[in-house]
Each structure stands twice: as C-alpha cells, then as structure tokens.
Amino acid sequence: MNESLTPKFSIIIPSFNRAASVGRTIESLLDQTDSNWEIILVDDGSTDHTKILIEKYLSDPRIHYYFKKNEGVSLARNYGSNYSTGDFLIFLDSDDQLEREALENFSKLIFANPNSKIIQAGFTLLDDDLIIKSVVIPKSNTYTPFLSGNFVIRRDFFQSIGGYDSQLNFAENTELFHRIKLANSDVVLGDFISLRYLDQPLGGSKNLRNSSRSIAYILDKHDLSLPLATKNLYWQIIGVNHLRFREFGSARTMFRKALKYKLFQPKALIRLSLACFPFVSKMVYKQSIH
C-alpha cells in the first residue's frame, strides 16, 4: 500500500525499569512491514539503564524518547499522546511486541473503514518462557479484552474523551472503553493477530490491593452507567481479593454487595458461603495468583 495513502501510527510505550525487555519491543516495531509510524517512548522515572539502551535507537528520526518522573502508566500514556503526531495511537507495554504485519493489517482495515475510530485485533498469549498459551481473535458475539497493543484509536477521538483516567494504574483500558461505549463509538474487529502479549499474574499483595482500589474507583465513578451484571462481577473480584488476604469479614461484605445487583447469582452465593468458612476458603483461594 502506498505510504501516502496509509495512516500514520504513533506507538506510545510507557516504560519503568524495563531495560531487559524494551529493546525487544522496539525491534518488533523496526521490523514492521508498514513504515509510516513513530515511537514515543515515555520513560516513567526508570532507575535502571533504560536511557543508555534507548540511545542506540535515537538515530532513527521516527523514535522519540522522553524522561519524566514516575507517576504511573496512565499519566505516561497521556503524556506520550500529547507529543504524538500520528492519525492513530497504539499503546504498547514495554515487555510486549507487535506482530510483523500488525500495522499493515490495521492500515488495511482503516482504509476499508475510513470513519472508524477504534479497531481491535487479536493477540497471542505467552507465558514467562515465551511459550504460546492461547490465541484470541475478536468475535462480534464474544467479549475480547482490550489490551495495549491489540487496538488502535484515532488520536483526536482519544483526546476528546479525556484520554486515560490518571487515577488508574490497573484496569485503565477497561475504564477507557466504558467511556468509549458511552460515546456510542463502534469498534471495528480485525480477524488478525496484532500482539504478542506476555501474560503476567497479579501475584503479590501490592498488585491485588491495586486491583481492588481501581475496581472500586470504577464502580464509584460509573455507578449510574455500569450494567448490573458488571457491578455484580466487579464486587465479586474485590471480594475474592479479600479472601486471598484472609479478610473474611470484608469478603462477605463485598459478596453481599454483589448479590444486591444479581440476587441469585450462583458464583456470588458460593463465594459468600466460602467466606463464612475460612478453613475451606483457604484451600480454594491461595494468597498469590500463578
């Protein structure tokens, strides 16, 4: 496809102490079959040798490096979008990679759907050893997660809806796409793989606490617009986190909140019962996720 007819992509990569992996991310972009792109790498206050590693790439005029104090992934992405010049934005984590024809395939769909604001593609899920765990292609009748790297969004539209919520460093894509849904913007689905996504478990207590805080924030912010089934699910997620922390009283409270929105939901009822029997709950819900 003639480059003059293709959209320009701004690939925004926030990075914090990812010197060990960000080079592979950049190499996956240098290997793209579509060359009409720029990289905005936002170093979110790294204390490792990220800057030294990035310097070798800066001879390419399409690659731009910005260092800022550490404020979290959402602010870093918004920061990068303010420096972008592309028609479409792609947000990519600094330990993931785009498939070689990702940008070309996105370009073809944009060309075929000139009024599109968001296009979602599939992804390959990798484990810590980079072994394929699963391959996901979006379908109109099933939910496919929006991951950084499996969607493109028109830059002016992203900025018009306020970008990422700076309060969130977990579930930030979930919250963003809830606002996109409220804006009645359709998502065009692509039947190709754009992303190689490294599946990393929530793991430790800090991440689980962050998960609970972020979900509670979304529940409060979008109380009037979230579907009842979604509220039920989100309160259950927070409740399960409390089970992992062995906070059984708080867990029971969360599951009761979930049941307010879907009274006879079997999973919530079972989990509420488990929260009443800590010995059994400890066998079912471990204190870390693998």
pLDDT of residue 2: 52
Banded model confidence at residue 3, pLDDT cuts 50, 70, 90:
low
Nearby residues of 194 by Cβ (< 8 Å), 6 or more positions away = 98, 99, 102, 105, 106, 121, 122, 123, 149, 150
Share of the chain above pLDDT 90, in %: 88
Q: Residue 177: is its pLDDT beyond 70?
A: yes
Angle CA(113)–CA(117)–CA(118) in degrees, nearest 5? 95
Q: Residue 290: is its pLDDT beyond 60?
A: no
pLDDT of residue 200: 77
Angle CA(227)–CA(281)–CA(238) in degrees, nearest 5? 30
User: Which pair of structure tokens corresponds to residue 150?
Assistant: 């499996």
Give the separation between CA 98 and CA 25, rounded to whole angstroms: 8
Give the separation between CA 179 and CA 163, rounded to whole angstroms: 10
pLDDT of residue 19: 96
Q: What is the DSSP string of 136-158?
A: E---TTS-----TTSEEEEHHHH
Dihedral sign for Cα atoms in the order 52, 53, 58, 59? positive
Banded model confidence at residue 226, pLDDT cuts 50, 70, 90:
very high
Dihedral sign for Cα atoms in the order 17, 23, 28, 31? positive
Give the separation between CA 134 and CA 116, rounded to whole angstroms: 28
Q: What average pLDDT does this structure show over 106-128?
A: 96
Give the separation between CA 28 and CA 90, rounded to whole angstroms: 14
Nearest residue to 168 via CA among 153, 155, 179:
179
Cβ atoms of 160 and 81 closer than 8 Å: no
pTM of the model: 0.92
Give the separation between CA 187 and CA 1, rounded to whole angstroms: 23
Tokens 């292609």 -> residue: 137
Banded model confidence at residue 233, pLDDT cuts 50, 70, 90:
very high
Q: Residue 205: is its pLDDT beyond 80?
A: no
Q: What average pLDDT does this structure show over 207-231?
A: 96
221 vs 130 pLDDT, higher one: 221
Summarize pLDDT for 30-77 with one digit per residue, the tens: 999 999 999 999 999 999 999 999 999 999 999 999 999 999 999 999
**HSE of 173 in the Cβ direction (CA atoms, 13 Å)?**
16
User: Which pair of structure tokens corresponds to residue 86?
Assistant: 């592309």
Give the separation between CA 127 and CA 199, rounded to whole angstroms: 6
User: Which amino acid type is present at position 243?
Assistant: L
Which domains, ranges and CATH numbers included, belong to the chain?
3-198 (3.90.550.10), 205-284 (1.25.40)
